[in-house]
Amino acid sequence: MSSPNIIKSFCNKCVGERNHTILHSDTKTDRETLDEQYSIDWSVTHETLKCLGCDAVSLRRTSSNSECTDEYGRPEASVALFPPAAFRRQPAWLSEFSMHHLFERGKEFMGELIHELYICIQNDCRRSAAMAVRALLEQVMIDKVGDQGTFTANIREFQAKGFISAQQQNFLETVIEAGHATMHRAFKPSKEELIALVNIAESVIESAYVNEYRAEHLKKNIPPKKRAPSKK
């Protein structure tokens, strides 16, 4: 039998439903009288939760009122989490490397763009996230190959310099077009479409920066070949 202080809730760090212990709970109820014959009963509960898997702490708000019911007349509660539940985990390399290891001095804003992108994702701001992906990829290409004047020219040069394959070039063009459509044609990507956009963007960043950093670090730690003794 489970403890009344143990409940299921979403954990952003574990990225899934996990058991949580309730550290604190506060409930307020009231009745709002609209006229002599009509009133609304409402209830709001705030709970401080601690994940039993990773110890992350979050806040859950559960609200209901007598006007919000299901087809059987039973109250339907609205649940909100703070911070909001993230539907996508950040890439491992984002915490593995500090941004100053990936980007040169004066280009720290690129790391900030990455973090802002995940804030948009976590808060389900899909249009903003799509535009952030577009802006981020534009800066990545300019940083690596210079500004060629247009997105098409930047992508072509980015591929020519070996940062992406010909197939990835097609993917990148699709991502950029999705950003254009979001800005100019009221396109709102679904969660699945946004995940696809972010997957492509992450693979480009990992290839252009993360793997480059890892390779350089590995190269420094590989012992040099021993020279064969010269024959006299």
Neighbours of 21 (CB within 10 A): 14
DSSP per-residue string spanning 46-63? EEEEEETTT--EEEEEEE
Which residue among 51, 82, 113 closes a domain?
A: 82
What are the residues facing 18 on neighbouring strands?
9
Same structural domain, 11 and 100:
no
Work out the burial of residue 6: count CB atoms within 10 Å of its CB; fewer than 13 is exposed, 13-18 middle, 19 or more buried. exposed
Same structural domain, 112 and 58:
no
What pLDDT score does 102 carry?
67
Same structural domain, 216 and 108:
yes
pLDDT tens, position by position, 124-172? 899 999 999 999 999 999 989 999 998 889 999 999 998 888 888 888 8
How many Cα atoms within 13 Å fall on the side-chain side of residue 165? 4
Residue 48, domain member (yes or no): yes
Same structural domain, 140 and 61:
no
More confident residue, 120 or 68: 120
CB 68 within 8 Å of CB 51: no
Instruction: For residues 146 and 144, give the distance between their C-alpha atoms in angstroms, rounded to a whole number.
Output: 6
Token pair, residue 190, equals: 């679904």
pLDDT tens, position by position, 150-159? 888 999 999 9
Same structural domain, 19 and 116:
no
- Whole-model pTM over 0.85: no
Same structural domain, 64 and 137:
no
Residue 227, domain member (yes or no): no
Q: What is the CATH number of the domain that holds 174?
A: 1.20.120
pLDDT tens, position by position, 53-96? 999 999 999 998 877 777 777 778 888 888 888 777 778 777 76
Domain count of the chain?
2
Domain that holds residue 197: 92-221
Same structural domain, 155 and 201:
yes
Residue 22, domain member (yes or no): yes
